[in-house]
């Protein structure tokens, strides 16, 4: 594993990945790891699923930055679930001093229009809010040392991040254009690193490769690959190939099982089937790891944890990242 | 004990029933929804149905497993399936939703050529139709309506976009109406038709302030593009709304079946609960839940704890076979705990939704690479529902096993 991150300047960490790869869990663990040693980190959720609240076992997050965890060495993770409608009203107030007009707009169905019917606007608001958090200053200092975003899945990530640019392309001038340019400047800079979460299976690995290619094509900075739920080998490595193809000696296994006080005769068959499954999975993992290596990105690996994921699991995973040199 | 045991989901009967005309698969991303749609479509074609499967952004591998280099907006034959479906007289076609193409087609079909060109060239339209989130859901709805209208197939299997917004299409007609009947459309289309004082007259002085706000926020050029676009679409929108409503109504008919797909994980099942609740509040016909990629143990009689104890007895310093047997026992212990956890999650879902039929599909060690793998999944999906006795046994076994 690498010992130092390749994105020393990154302050905005965008975490994407195929659905089902544990993107939210990894984003939360990354936020905890980055908070290690007394730093302030904001963890942002954009899909209104309240996944962060569930992970940290807190009530649903309102649209405000709330402390959800304390990291080792006095650091802290705050979380923000962006509510699109609230973000729009905030935006109107902040840039146009239009708070009351905002309320009137809502009555007219304009907010509905902006957040639901003109779907691109939604992503503009979300990325705009993220940029605001990244660049926010409090008393001359950065409000946050790092911002981690639990972003949309790989299939949608390029569209999500580049939406502002599309809008900027539409608006030849005016405030939206200025605003969009500001967002894209942050996203394209070395301040940003887009990390891709994957598991060691064919389709997620393929999507990881596709996402990296697409992000590079549109000039967005790819960070690292975060492999989640890597399974540990439970069989001796030199027995994997035979186990996978059902070539282990079932008579000898049955004898050993009986020796241990079990019904070896009837158990050997079923256990060998389960071992074959395990070994095939292990071999498939190896093949996926090899394909990821070809992508030539800094790669971190997180182990599969047994049992349901809770707040304790997050610290466990954060610890793995810290030990791998993420800070 | 009834709590925790779900009625079995009889998919073989569902796909064989000629009254089943549409099957919609929904669920969180990464649960194998697209594969499930394709496998079910293949199984239905094998059962003699004339099937088209509409996928949304499938992995390239799935197209390849269907024997197609790529999928596009037009249903294509799946040549490799012909052999499997020949005996039954069934037929399988596949397509992938191309939202921009679908949107373009609507514009072309419902506007004069000159006006259509004007819309297609509008920069706002181009962005809306190709790159904005949300458009996909509307277009999926539109395409489904189109496929149904042609009458070329007696069963349409639909995959949905991989997010919670998958169900946004249920809101499409409502949103469309709210939009069309609202003041926004007048506001937005007015500056395109007229400017300055005339604009004030069109929208009324009270609304002019909003025009100014929007102008301030969007900037003049964008507002002009938007309003030209909306103005040009004006005539077409009505038809769009009607069709969206018709498709919505169609989905509520008994000929439609919604299948919620989930993986046996807390997140995916939470999403599944959301889908189930949402579908029932919209009175959409829910066929049941497919719990995909479960890991049943092949030696359920041996508990994880006992396996670990026996493994300890065998190690260390014993023969090579003892070491191997010990590791097999540890593999089993892990498998058995996973199995127990998955069953617990399934029971929890079943207690919350006792009426929702459920079927589990075991995980394959490898990914789906070819038609044969799809066929096998299809076979798993459609194995006959176990006789009642067996269901009881399973529930009983589950209830006496200690929780891990």
Domain ranges (residues) in chain A? 12-231+304-323, 234-294
**Residue found by looking up tokens 């000039």 in the block:** A219
Q: Which two tokens stand for residue A122?
A: 């939604």
> What is the model's pLDDT at position B329?
97
- Counted across chains A and B, CB pairs separated by less than 8 A come out at 231
For residues A10 and A190, is the Cβ–Cβ distance under 8 A? yes
Q: Which of residues A317 and B315 earns the better pLDDT score? A: A317
CA dihedral B338, B343, B348, B351 (to 10 degrees): 180
**Level-2 CATH architecture, domain A12-231+304-323:** 3-Layer(aba) Sandwich (3.40)
pTM higher than 0.90, yes or no? no
Q: Which of residues B194 and A143 earns the better pLDDT score? A: A143
> What is the model's pLDDT at position B395?
36
For residues B284 and B258, is the Cβ–Cβ distance under 8 A? yes
Smallest Cα–Cα separation from B183: which of B151, B218, B208? B208
Mapping DSSP onto H, E and C, the string for chain A reads CCCCCCCCCCCEEEEEECCCCCHHHHHHHHHHHHHCCCCEEEEEECCCCCHHHHHCCCCCCCCCCEEEEECHHHCEEEEEECCHHHHHHHHHHHHHCCHHHHHHHHHCCHHHHHHHHCHHHHHHHHHHHHHHHHHCEECCEECCCEEEEECCCHHHHHHHHHHHHHHHHHCCCCHHHHHHHHHHHHHHCCCEEEEEEECCCHHHHHHHHHHHHHHHHCCCCEEEEEEEEECCCCCCHHHHHHHHCCCCCHHHHHHHHHHCCCCHHHHHHHHHHHHHHHHHHHHHHHHHHHHHHHCCCCEEEEECCCCCCCHHHHHHHHHHHHHCCCC
Residue from A203, A272, A291 whose CB has the most chain B CBs within 10 Å, to mutate = A203
> What is the model's pLDDT at position B400?
37
Nearest to B127 among A170, A206, A249 (CB): A170
A235 to B327: CB separation less than 8 angstroms, yes or no: yes
**Residue found by looking up tokens 């396996």 in the block:** B307
Q: Over the range B160-169, which residues count as b (16 or more CB within 10 Å of their CB) and which as e? A: bbbbbbbbbb
**Level-2 CATH architecture, domain B11-296+352-381:** 3-Layer(aba) Sandwich (3.40)
Interface of B with A in 23-42 (CB under 8 A): 28-31
Mean pLDDT, rounded, of chain A: 88
Distance from CA of B62 to the nearest CA of A (A): 10
Distance from CA of B87 to the nearest CA of A (A): 33
Chain A residues in contact with B374 by the CB 8 A cut-off are none
A152 to B321: CB separation less than 8 angstroms, yes or no: no
A170 to B123: CB separation less than 8 angstroms, yes or no: yes
A284 to B366: CB separation less than 8 angstroms, yes or no: yes
Interface of B with A in 179-218 (CB under 8 A): 179, 182-184, 209-210, 213-214, 216-218
The H or E element spanning position B205 is helix B205-218
**A6 — pLDDT class (breaks 50, 70, 90):** low
Q: Which of residues A51 and B3 earns the better pLDDT score? A: A51
Q: Which of residues B230 and A189 earns the better pLDDT score? A: A189
Residue extents of the structural domains in chain B:
11-296+352-381
> What is the model's pLDDT at position A5?
53
Q: Tell me the C-alpha distance between A297 and A223, whole Å.
A: 8
Chain A residues in contact with B265 by the CB 8 A cut-off are 20
Interface of B with A in 94-133 (CB under 8 A): 123-124, 127-128, 131-133
Digits of tens for pLDDT over chain B (404 positions)? 333 578 999 999 999 999 999 999 988 877 888 889 999 999 999 999 999 999 876 666 677 778 777 788 899 999 889 999 989 999 999 998 888 888 888 888 877 888 888 888 877 777 677 655 566 777 888 889 889 999 999 999 998 876 555 566 677 666 666 665 656 666 666 654 444 444 444 445 455 566 666 666 666 666 677 677 766 666 666 666 777 788 888 889 889 999 999 999 888 898 899 899 989 988 999 999 999 999 999 999 999 999 999 999 887 666 889 999 999 999 999 999 999 999 999 999 999 999 999 999 998 766 677 888 899 999 999 998 765 544 433 333 333 344 33
Residue B360 per-residue DSSP state: E
Check CB contact of B4 with chain A, cutoff 8 Å: no
B367 to A166: CB separation less than 8 angstroms, yes or no: no
What are the beta bridge partners of residue A318? none
Q: Tell me the C-alpha distance between B335 and A205, whole Å.
A: 24
């Amino acid at each position: 594993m690498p010992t130092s991150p390749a994105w020393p300047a990154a302050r905005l960490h965008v975490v994407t990945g195929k659905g089902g790869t544990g993107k939210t869990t990894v984003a939360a663990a990354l936020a905890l790891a980055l908070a290690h040693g007394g730093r302030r980190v904001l963890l942002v959720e954009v899909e209104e699923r309240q996944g962060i609240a569930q992970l940290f076992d807190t009530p649903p997050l309102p649209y405000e930055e709330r402390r959800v965890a304390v990291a080792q060495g006095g650091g802290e993770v705050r979380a923000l679930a962006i509510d699109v409608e609230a973000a729009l009203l905030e935006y109107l107030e902040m840039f146009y001093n239009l708070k009351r007009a905002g309320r009137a707009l809502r009555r007219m169905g304009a907010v509905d229009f902006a957040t639901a019917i003109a779907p691109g606007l939604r992503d503009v608001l979300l990325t705009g809010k993220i940029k605001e958090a990244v660049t926010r200053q409090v008393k001359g200092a950065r409000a946050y040392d790092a911002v981690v975003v639990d972003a949309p899945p790989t299939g949608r990530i390029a569209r999500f991040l580049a939406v502002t640019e599309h809008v900027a392309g539409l608006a030849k001038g005016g405030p939206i254009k200025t605003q969009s340019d500001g967002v894209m400047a942050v996203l394209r800079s070395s301040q940003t690193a887009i990390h891709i979460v994957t598991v060691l299976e064919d389709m997620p690995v393929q999507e990881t490769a596709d996402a990296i290619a697409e992000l590079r094509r549109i000039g967005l900075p790819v960070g690292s690959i975060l492999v989640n739920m890597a399974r540990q080998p439970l069989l001796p490595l030199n027995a994997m190939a035979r186990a996978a193809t059902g070539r282990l000696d079932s008579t000898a296994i049955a004898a050993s099982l009986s020796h241990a006080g079990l019904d070896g005769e009837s158990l050997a068959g079923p256990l060998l089937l389960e071992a074959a499954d395990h070994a095939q999975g292990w071999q498939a993992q190896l093949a996926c790891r090899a394909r990821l290596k070809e992508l030539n990105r800094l790669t971190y690996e997180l182990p599969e944890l047994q049992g349901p994921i809770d707040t304790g699991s997050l610290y466990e995973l954060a610890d793995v990242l810290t030990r791998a040199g993420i800070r | 004990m009834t709590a925790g045991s779900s009625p079995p989901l009889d998919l073989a009967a569902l796909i064989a029933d000629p009254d089943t005309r549409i099957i919609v698969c929904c669920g969180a991303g990464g649960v194998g929804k697209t594969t499930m749609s394709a496998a079910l479509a293949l199984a239905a074609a094998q059962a003699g149905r004339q099937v088209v499967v509409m996928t949304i952004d499938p992995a390239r591998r799935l197209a390849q497993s269907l024997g197609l280099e790529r999928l596009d907006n037009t249903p294509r034959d799946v040549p490799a399936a012909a052999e499997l479906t020949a005996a039954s007289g069934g037929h399988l076609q596949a397509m992938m939703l191309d939202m921009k193409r679908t949107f373009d087609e609507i514009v072309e079909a419902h506007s004069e050529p000159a006006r259509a060109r004007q819309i297609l060239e509008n920069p706002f339209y181009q962005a809306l139709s190709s790159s904005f989130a949300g458009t996909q859901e509307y277009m999926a709805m539109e395409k489904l309506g189109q496929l149904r209208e042609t009458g070329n197939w007696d069963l349409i299997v639909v995959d949905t976009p991989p997010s919670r917004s998958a169900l946004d299409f249920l809101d499409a007609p409502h949103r469309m109406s709210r939009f069309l009947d609202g003041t926004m459309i007048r506001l937005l289309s007015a500056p395109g038709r007229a400017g300055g004082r005339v604009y004030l007259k069109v929208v009324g002085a009270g609304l002019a302030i909003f025009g100014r706000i929007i102008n301030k926020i969007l900037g003049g050029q964008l507002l002009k593009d938007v309003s030209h676009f909306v103005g040009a679409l004006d005539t077409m929108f009505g038809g769009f709304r009607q069709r969206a409503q018709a498709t919505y109504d169609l989905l509520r008919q008994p000929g439609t079946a919604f299948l919620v797909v989930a993986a046996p994980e807390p997140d995916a099942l939470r999403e599944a609960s959301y889908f189930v609740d949402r579908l029932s509040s919209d009175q959409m016909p829910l066929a049941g839940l497919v719990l995909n990629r479960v890991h049943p143990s092949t030696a359920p009689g041996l508990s994880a704890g006992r396996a670990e104890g026996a493994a300890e007895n065998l190690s260390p310093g014993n023969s090579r076979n003892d070491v191997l047997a010990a590791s097999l026992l540890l593999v089993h212990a892990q498998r058995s705990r996973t199995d127990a956890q998955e069953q617990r999650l399934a029971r929890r879902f079943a207690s919350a939704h006792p009426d929702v039929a459920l079927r589990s599909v075991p995980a394959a060690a490898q990914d789906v690479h070819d038609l044969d793998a799809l066929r096998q999944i299809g076979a798993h999906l459609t194995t006959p529902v176990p006789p009642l006795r067996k269901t009881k046994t399973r529930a009983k076994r589950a209830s006496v096993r200690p929780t891990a």
